Amino acid sequence: MLDSSMNVWMVILLSLLLLSAVFAVMIRDLLKAAIALAAVSVVLTVIMFLLGSPLAAVFELSVCAGLITAIFISAISLTKPGTQEELAAKRRLRLKRFIYLPILLVLIGVGLWLAWPSLKLDIAAVGTGAGLSVQQVLWDARSLDILGQIIIILAGVFGVVVLFRGRKAR
């Protein structure tokens, strides 16, 4: 199913994805980190389109790239940016911890590359649901998830209400 041209695109997009993720983690300034995170979501959306799952791509683009990034940016703008020395110190600390990250990545890469042929991954024909409309997917195939979604939102609401609403008395 994956012909050679797709392969090339995939490699580019996946490396782009990795690059922006590392960038989001390493960058000193919070704002730039949030934007990098948005970039990660955008690249992910493109990959999903390529892999033929438009619905997931649409949700990814709208929710992660859009909504979450907006919330992040509004929150960051409210906070007071740390002084230069704090930022430098935090960066040095983060650098020290993430030295090992590239080595780990390389190792996993090599391991996968070696083990790949013997893994004999038989990807089953997954019902990609390309033909199904949003309405059918939501209500018929995964109807229970709607209920789950409602309860999670409820829990999230109570969490916000309980944790963030400071009481007048204090």
Partner 1 sequence: MPALFLLIPLLGVIIINLPGRKIGNRMAVWAALAVAIIQIGMAVTSGSMVWQGLAQVVSLPFGASLQIDLFTAVVLATTGLIAAMSLILDKNAENPRSLYFGSLVLVTMMGMNGVVMVRDIFSLYVFLEITAVASFVLISINKERDPLEGAFKYFVMSAVATVLILAAIAILLLTVGSVGFKAVADNLSAGGVSPQVIVALILFIAGLSIKAGLIPFHAWLPDAYSSAPPAVSMLLAGIITKVTGVYTIMRLITDVFSISSIMKTAFMVLGAVSIVIGALAAMRQDDFKRMLAYSSISQVGYIILSAGLGTPLGFAAALLHFFNHATFKSLLFVNAAAVESRSGTRQMSRLGGLASKMPITGGTSVVGFLSTAGVPPLSGFWSKLLIVIALWQAGAYFYAVVAVLASILTLAYFLIMQRRVFFGKLREGLESIREAGAAAVVPSLILAGITVLVGLLFPLVLLLMQSQGLI
Comparing CB distances to partner 1, the nearer of 31 and 146 is 146
Q: Which of 4, 84, 118, 135 binds partner 1 (CB under 8 A)?
A: 118
Q: How many CA atoms lie within 13 Å of 9's alpha carbon, on the beta-carbon side?
A: 13
Using the rule CB under 8 A, is 102 a contact of partner 1?
Answer: no
User: φ, ψ for residue 12 (rounded to 5)?
Assistant: -60, -50
Q: Which of 84, 103, 162, 168 binds partner 1 (CB under 8 A)?
A: 162
Q: Which of 125, 131, 135, 168 binds partner 1 (CB under 8 A)?
A: 125
Closest CA to 1 of 50, 64, 55: 50
Q: Kindly state the smallest distance separating residue 141's Cβ from partner 1, in Å.
A: 10
C-alpha distances (whole Å) from 29 to each of 19, 23, 25, 26 are: 17, 11, 10, 9
Q: Which of 114, 135, 144, 168 binds partner 1 (CB under 8 A)?
A: 144
Only segment of 43-51, 81-89, 101-109, 142-150 that touches partner 1 (CB under 8 A): 142-150
Contact call for residues 44 and 60 (beta carbons, < 8 A): yes
Residue 56 in tokens = 């997931």
Using the rule CB under 8 A, is 128 a contact of partner 1?
Answer: no
Residue 6 in tokens = 């797709």
3-state helix, strand, coil split of the chain in percent (to 5) is 80, 0, 20
Q: Which of 113, 124, 135, 168 binds partner 1 (CB under 8 A)?
A: 124
Contact call for residues 35 and 69 (beta carbons, < 8 A): yes
Only segment of 9-17, 51-59, 67-75, 149-157 that touches partner 1 (CB under 8 A): 149-157
Only segment of 2-10, 52-60, 84-92, 120-128 that touches partner 1 (CB under 8 A): 120-128
Site residues for partner 1 per CB under 8 A: 118-127, 143-145, 147-148, 150-152, 154-156, 158-159, 161-163
